[in-house]
Structure 1
Amino acid sequence: MTDQQNAKPRQNDDEIDLVELILELWKGKMLILGFVVVCFCLGFAYVKVVAKTQYSVSTHYGVNLFSGEIFSLCREDQRCLDGRVADQFSNELGGHWSVDAKSSTLTQYIGAPESAKVYSADLEQANDRLTQSFLNAAKEELTIVASLSSDLRNTETVAESVLHAKRMIYQIENSKQQALTLTTPSVQKKSPKVALILVISVLLGGMLGVFAVLMKKFVAELKSRR
């Protein structure tokens, strides 16, 4: 009975403290609101003045051709083949595009975007250059093989290289196949995330306001005890 009787006053004290806390915060609502407004204005100023706007340009790709060198490195590992061709294509673009092999996506981050047509033209020109480099490599490979002795030409490895080179030449010259198939580039704004920044600013302002109210109450209680 004694423990139960002692527990009840403690519970009542906790409830009273919670009520007092809510009342104290309500009394300081204007101070809290002031912090919220200030932080919101600072967040808005950051978005408009400080933060740099960044856009992303992305396109999906599909690999149609791969050179004999890439084939010899990857040995029909499709993920390796696709990744090697995409990396080579990125080099043709000057290294400004990053490759995501998992999603088969090429992405570039920029400050001031051009129209999608401009990026599409750049990608197609790089695709043409990559395709032409594959064609030249295939023809050069056939020339090298032709200079080999008959014993070397009859090996399985050389025969496989010749078959791949001839298939490459046929696909490019007769079937007009490109190294990659590219989708139309999409331009999206990546940062700053205005809504998120403003929400965080409001929450931060509210937290600072609550802290200021509690500190004000704490200081007032210390003064009253003296």
Structure 2
Amino acid sequence: MSLLKSLILVCSCFLATHVTAQMPQGEYLDGKDSKVGVVLAHGRGNSPDGSVVGPLRRGINKDLGFHTLSLRMPDPGADSPDSPELAAAFPEAYQRIQFAIDYLKTQKGVERIYLMGHSMGGRMTTGFLANNPTAPVVGFIGVGLTAGGKEPVNTNLNLRKVKIPVVDVYGDNEMDAKAASFRKQLVSENYVQFEVPGAKHDYRGYEKPVSDLVIEWLKKQEGR
């Protein structure tokens, strides 16, 4: 191999490593020496520190000491599950999730990663898991998961392919409860559902019950 080709190869490897070393856009809380991290994905029109994901990322970090990385997810520009614009945003979402996993593993020494999604973030994270069955994710946290449409935008269809442990938290509002009812067939030792009575889809005012449920589930997964 010529010297020029060798230099090009070394530079390419350096650049690839450097890119994955960058923290993806979002909100990060340091877990210090913890080997556990949680990657969170917000819903449409929300933000990395918005409703559901904001209180949850802080609660997990405070109570369990885990690393939390709440991502800035792409805006699909459409909410209809049958919209072509919606499905077109999923590859970018997958890339951001993968960058987050790479960052936590290579830069923070995280060995066990959980993935969490709310609403549209749930569609994108379950789509990622369904299409990347070997991804180094040890569990999935869903809050206010919605359905409708075809794969990969239909959370219910995606979850049929997910083999890792799942906690499925939903409110008793019509949209969330209806979608959750179709997932009851998935309930098993590996898949648990919890209802949050009175909660609407944005879970405002119900942040603590959601956090308490998720944190208790994470404790069980980690043998605490």
TM-score (norm 2): 0.23
Larger radius of gyration: 1
Higher helix share: 1
TM-score (norm 1): 0.23
Q: Which has the higher contact order (CA 8 A, sep 6+)?
A: 1
